[in-house]
Amino acid sequence: MSDTTARPALASVDVGQTVIDTTIPVSRADLIAYAAASGDQNHIHWNERYAKEVGLPNVIAHGMLTMGSVLARVTDWTGDPGSVVDARTRFTSMVVVPDAETGVPSTPTAELALTATVGAVDTDTGIVRLDLAVTSDDEAVLGRTQVKVRLA
- Give the pLDDT confidence of 31-60 residue by residue, as tens digits: 999 999 999 999 999 899 999 999 999 999
In terms of Cβ atoms closer than 10 Å to its own Cβ (0-12, 13-18, 19+), residue 134 is buried
Starting at the edge strand found earlier in the chain, the sheet holding 139-150 runs 18-26, 110-122, 127-136, 139-150, 84-91
pLDDT tens for the chain, 152 residues long, are: 444 457 899 999 999 999 999 999 999 889 999 999 999 999 999 899 999 999 999 999 999 999 999 999 999 999 999 999 999 999 999 999 988 665 554 556 899 999 999 999 999 999 999 999 999 999 999 999 999 999 98
Range 12-150 classified under CATH 3.10.129.10: yes
Domain positions in the chain are 12-150
Count of CB atoms situated within 10 Å of the CB of 118: 17
